[in-house]
Structure formats: C-alpha cells, structure tokens
Amino acid sequence: MMDDNIKKLFQINPKDIPNSIPIFPLDNVLLLPFGKLPLNIFEERYIKMTFDSLKNHKMIGIIQPKNNNNELFQMGCIGKITSYIETSDYRLVLNLEGLCRFVLNDRNMTPNGYYQATISCDDYLNDLLDEEPNIDRSSLIQKYSNYFKMKKLEIDKEVLSETSNQQILSTLTMLAPFNKIDKQAILESSNIYERINTINSILDLNTFQVVSRDNPNQLN
C-alpha cells in the first residue's frame, strides 16, 4: 500500500495551479479531470512548448478551437505531464492527466510560436478533489457499450469493472466519438452530477437518432 507521505508528493493542491499556462488547441479533443490523454507532439512550436512546460510546472491547457478563424472556446482543462518519451525521429510522446477546468481570460503569442494564456480556475478547484461520485455504474457502462457498438468500437468491460467511478466518467467520455459541441457541453457542465446528466442525454439522443434512421418502425 502506498505511503501517504509519498502520495502527497504527487498530489496537486489549489495553490499549485498557476494563473498562466501554455495552451494547446486541439480540435475535437476532450480532456476531463482525472482523465488520461496521450499526445504525439511533432510540430516544432509544440515541442518547444512541452520543454518549456517541463522546466516549470509541467502543465498544459487543452482547449478546443471554435472554428477555423483562430477563435477558441472559453473553457479548457489543465493537464499535467506525468510522463514523456523522446523518440528517435524527434517527436515527443506525452501522457497528460487532467487536473481541473479553466476559463481562458487572455492569450499572447510567445517567441517560440505557441500561446501562453492567463486563466482562472477559481470556480473549478473542486475538480481536484478525488471523490467517488455516486453513479449507476452498470447502467452507464451499458449505455456506453451500446453507443460504442453502434459506432463499431469496443470497450473492455472487464477492465472497467476494476476502474473507479471517476475514471469511468472521464475515460469513456474522452474515448467516445462525440462531436465537438457535445464534448464542450460535457466539459462545461457545472459539476460532476450535471456532467453525468449531460452524458446520459447525449447517449440517449445518439441512440435514438441511430434507431430512428436505421429502423423507423422500431419507434412505433
């Protein structure tokens, strides 16, 4: 069993969250608190961004572009670099762990070609709390299983049986091929229980649309 003193060395507290971080705009990519996001970094500016982050707080903001006009959504999620590998072909393979959501206040281009942003996390520091939400696991997993099956994807239910509720909510939701707007709605849900309601609504709507399109008589 892990020593509590060692565990504390890895925990992030509200005072550890900076008010300025580099941001990485990624289209149709969702990072949630406690979620794990692998990244393949090959552009020079983002390699520089990663090295700059590793020299400081090891944190990067993941945020979605709104459109092709360089406009971003106002909310993203801070990810902490938990591991990285330098490849022989000069790429970086990162693992990010979601910490807490942030509101984008301002951004400025750095000399290295990426954006450094001023952010606010004051309303979302509860994202840092490792508390198990009370959810209907079997129902949610079954809904996701049905949705993934319709998308011709698979999930490993045996692995999920050993996963915490918090991890189920983050991992399955990040893996699901929802559209950009749905992903942003999930991210912007005010708390974890509203997030669950949003996820359920999206899953129900997608299931309904598929059934309606493929077999209209099934609705009668």
Q: What is the pLDDT of residues 17-58, one digit of tens each?
A: 999 999 999 999 999 999 999 999 999 999 999 999 999 999
Residue ranges of alpha helices (H) inside 11-153 are: 44-55, 137-150
The confidence band for 210, taking pLDDT boundaries of 50, 70 and 90, is: very low
pLDDT the model gives residue 213: 45
17 close to 122: Cβ distance less than 8 angstroms:
no
149 and 118 in a common domain: no
47 and 114 in a common domain: yes
Q: Report the mean per-residue pLDDT for the chain.
A: 89
181 within domain boundaries: yes
Nearest alpha-carbon partner for 98 in 83, 74, 80: 80
96 close to 81: Cβ distance less than 8 angstroms:
yes
Tokens of 81: 């670099």
89 and 35 in a common domain: yes
Number of residues written out for the chain: 220
Q: Of 6-10, 43-47, 98-102, 205-209, where does mean pLDDT reach its minimum?
A: 205-209
Which residues, at least 6 apart from 25, have a Cβ–Cβ distance to it below 8 Å?
A: 63, 64, 65, 72, 115
Q: Provide the number of structural domains found in the chain.
A: 2
The confidence band for 11, taking pLDDT boundaries of 50, 70 and 90, is: confident
149 and 116 in a common domain: no
Comparison of pLDDT for 215 and 168, the residue scoring more: 168
131 within domain boundaries: no
pLDDT reading at 215 higher than 80: no
15 and 122 in a common domain: yes
Beta-bridge partner residues of 92: 41, 86
Question: Rounded to an integer, what distance in angstroms lies between the CA atom of residue 219 and that of residue 49?
Answer: 51
Domain housing 96: 4-126
Question: Rounded to an integer, what distance in angstroms lies between the CA atom of residue 141 and that of residue 168?
Answer: 8
118 and 143 in a common domain: no
pLDDT reading at 211 higher than 70: no
81 and 9 in a common domain: yes
76 within domain boundaries: yes
Parallel, antiparallel or unpaired: strands 20-25 and 75-86:
unpaired
pLDDT the model gives residue 10: 79
